[in-house]
Amino acid sequence: MREIVFDTETTGLDPSVERVIEIGGVELWNHIPTGREFHVFIRPEGRKVDPAAFDVHGISDEFLADKPVFSEVLDDFLDFFSEGRLIAHNATFDMRFLNAELARLGRPPIGMERVLDTLAMARRKFPMAPATLDALCSRFSIDTSRRDKHGALLDSQLLADVYIELIGGRQAALGLVFGADAAAEDAGTDAGVQRIAPRPRRLAPRLTEADAARHLAFVESFGEEAIWWRYLERPAKADAEIPAG
């Protein structure tokens, strides 16, 4: 299943007059980042960045002066966002702005049935607890040291980690470790790797000798080329008899 975790930055808060100035997106496949990302800055035609918005994201009019307008990035945007579930934090805000930009160009809106809001997810999972992106990163011990201002791509990367935690993704990974954790494991260190202590004594087997003999007889019924013989020791013919009971 393809999913796009995304974020936007804008000139202000009202999508009827304000404009999108940054879009970032991270592609997931079956909840695992593929490494494919989308990132663009956009010049807001005829609109200046509101000072309050600048305080949040730090994107200035001067910085945006030579950036493409939305119509010039539309095809790349649609190519990346056209398929899969869309995931955003406070998704209604981002979708209102994106659909306003599409409407200005006479393009159909993106339906909200494709969108999953991680803010709503977090509020259901942790009632009464803070549910900002920063608060969720802190809850899940996700490193935000690179984040001094809001940024669409960085926030999308952080949100992808938060989303995976919200759906129990680390547990679903069955103990696989990646990146720094995998390197630490290969180096024989414990940094970032959760290890499970072995049992002090092995559990008593629940398979009886009669069960084992019946299984061997069953395997033999498939002939000499049965794939099970790659994993079983071939018994003497007498050992393959099925015991009574």
Per DSSP, the chain holds a count of helices (H) and strands (E) of: 10, 5
32 vs 1, 60, 114, 163, 170, CA distance in Å?
A: 10, 34, 19, 11, 10
Catalytic residue among 39, 57, 89, 150: 150
Tokens 């069955």 correspond to 174
CA distance 204 to 234: 24
CA distance 21 to 9: 6
57 is catalytic: no
CA distance 106 to 90: 25
Of 25, 32, 22, the C-alpha closest to 5 is 25
Q: Are strands 115-117 and 85-88 parallel, antiparallel or unpaired?
A: parallel
Report, as residue numbers or ranges, the catalytic residues.
150
